[in-house]
Every structure is written in C-alpha cells, then in structure tokens.
Amino acid sequence: MGDVVGTRGGAGQACRGRCGACPARATGLCAIGAAGTAAAATGLAEAVALDTGEALFSQGDAARHVYAVAGGTLKLTRLMADGRSHVAGFVSAGDTVGLAGADAATHAFGAVALGKARVCRFRRDRLLDLADACPAFGRGLFGLVSAELAAAQDRMLLLGRKTAQEKVASFLLAMLAAGNRHGGTADTLELPMNRADIADHLGLTFETVSRCVTKLKSTGSIRLLPGNRVQVRDAPALADLAAAA
C-alpha cells in the first residue's frame, strides 16, 4: 500500500493544495460539477504516493475506497482460478478506479503502479453520502460507472473479435485518446507498460505484438520515439484498421 501524505486531515489539506495544478481535475471523479470539486476541497480525499511496482490494493482486499489517479499509470491485474495473472487494463491521470461493483465487499482485481504515481483516495461511504446529499453528484457518479462498464464491453470486443493487428491498433488509439483527455500531445502517446504487459492485456504473445508494431511502423502509421513514446503519423489509417472487425 502506498504512503498516505499526512494524517486524514493533513491528507485532505495536501489534496486541496495540489488541486489547482492537478491534471486530473478536469476529468473523472474530480470533475463532477461543483460537488466534485467540493469532494476534494472539503477534505474527503487522502493523497497517496506510490513507488514503481507498489500495489495500491490487491485482489480480495476490502473495497472501502474509490481512487482518482492524479499522476502516473497503474496496471490492473486479475488472478484467475488456475493461478495465472491477467492484465485487465491500465489507468492513468484522470481515471477513476473502484466505482464499478460498488456493492462488492472486496476488490475483484489488483492495481499496481508502473512507475511513480499519485492517487487521491476517497472513502466510498462518504462519496455515497455526498451523492445522497447532492443529486447532481450522484448522477455524475452514475455516469462514471456507465463509462467504466462501456469500456469493459469494448475490451470484450477487443479480445473476442479482432485480429492481432486490429487489437494493437485499437490499443494504441485508446492510449492516445486517454493521453489527450489529460493534456497529452495530440499525436504522441507514452507507453509506461512493457510489451509483455500489452501482450497479456490483448491476449497475444510478446512476439505477435512486436510483429504488429513493426508492421505499423513499416507502413508509416506510427513512429517509435525514445522514452517508450509512440507518434501516430496516420491516425485515419490506424482508426480504419481498428474498426475493421
């Protein structure tokens, strides 16, 4: 578990002090109208700092909190009955974790930082109290849950119907869109995860992902940049490929 910045009261003050410059302020949980801003400003949030490889929570942990990612990227993992681990997805600044399955007593997956990360942690019962007191905030929470379920449906299509090349194209476009939502460069995305994690997430082998990336590079659709960055040079072609299924 990551380090909480100060006590609960102190953590609330730390979140308030950082809200103005937080890249997640305009999206996700903290963007749900005036009530979303109030959730952090009134001290409901605790700031949590994570180091590389550190778990925010593990599968089976008590699901007492909802998390707003303020910086960095986390990998979501699911341990299957046969002992194998599957990369269920990735979340970055502006994303919310822990809303889906709000009635569940425990987390159905784990979340691990891929690098240094910052997260604002909200007690779930206090968020629900706020939703009861402010219907607009409650509707906003419902919208976030709906978006999370829609993303899960998209992942099912990605894994079940698309070819390897279509899967990789879809993944790159999704990562680019996520970065742009949170202030990234219009045509360049960062991939803090390694290719093995990408392959696991897409249900492919490492070698297949590498071949697909090489093909996209050779056709001029993408350009590989230093620092695990990818420039999308032909977004329409990538979109056509991703939508081919």
Can you tell me which residue has the tokens 């970065």? 179
- Decide if pLDDT at 158 tops 70: no
Residue at a domain's end among 137, 158, 179: 158
The pLDDT > 70 percentage for the chain reads 80
> Is the model's pTM score more than 0.85?
no
Within this chain, do residues 172 and 152 fall inside the same structural domain, yes or no?
no
According to the model, what pLDDT value does residue 180 have?
Answer: 77
Query: Of 108, 136, 158, which residue constitutes the final position of a domain?
Result: 158
**Mean pLDDT, rounded, for 67-91:** 91
Residues 41 and 147 in one domain: yes
What is the structure's pLDDT at 102?
59
Exposure string over 81-117, b if 16+ CB within 10 A, otherwise e = eeeeeebbbbbbbbbbbbbbeeeeeebebbbbbbeeb
17/38 Cα distance (integer angstroms): 13
Query: Quick one: average pLDDT of 103-115?
Result: 89
Do 188 and 146 lie in one domain? The reply is no
Question: Residue 102 belongs to what domain range?
Answer: 3-158
For residue 8, the model assigns a pLDDT of 32
If one compares 95 and 113, the residue with the highest pLDDT of the two is 113
Is residue 81 domain-shared with residue 119, that is, in the same domain? yes
- Quickly count: other Cβ atoms within 10 Å of residue 7's Cβ: 10
Query: Distance between CA 17 and CA 175 in Å, rounded?
Result: 29
How many CB atoms neighbour CB 228 within 10 A?
Answer: 13
